[in-house]
Structure 1
């Protein structure tokens, strides 16, 4: 009887050992294929990101979409012909928090260009902000300070003190 139980114990030990080794190999094979799949997906995402970012930048610069005070991610996506999800992901990759921050970055840069132009010297900051695409004074001031680090008035004063 002991021989039978010893044989059975040995057989079970052998079964569990072989089973464990086979399972480890299956896990390793799965992990390697998952890694390869992940690498391919990353390459595809990188290509998509580069294509979408070029299209977004092109449209923003050439069409000056940021000047539209009612611009939303959805309307921008329709105009560019890219899904709003792809645009949003791409903008996040570009180190902007979201579409509105991206849009406001361009608006602030437009404001800075306008404020230095002789044509717009007689305009108030609020009027220039509207020209740059902002739809409210409060939005303009908040975003300008967030992006540039100083208020629009301080920025204007620094331009005037540099000119002297």
Structure 2
């Protein structure tokens, strides 16, 4: 399993670590309208899955904006931002920031995504900061478990991985 810290304190990640070359695990999360979303919901597209501890924090806000800005013009790509924030809070964040086309998804109900991708922080019931790129054939082509949850991911490497998927 990946080893990470949260505010420089070691934390325990639950679930299965995902590696490049793996078939992407399926999951069930909730959209802002409380409808269920799975990996299959965007089948046939390249997905950048941006995982954040909470959409309402500075680094998570910047991460969500950066990936959506960088990839909005790339065809057949969907950016999914997943956290355990309630769908209502995610919807309010999008509305207050004027972001209509950002796909925020909530893993609050069952931590299905967190367990499937090994990012569920046991001590905090949050998701660890991570980035996954899944190609149109549901193969994982890029993985980054950010070693310190309050740090930024490697934006350039992730965007490049999407363009090469």
User: Does the TM-score normalized on the shorter chain lie above 0.5?
Assistant: no
TM-score (norm 2): 0.22
Larger Rg belongs to: 1
TM-score (norm 1): 0.23
More strand by share: 2
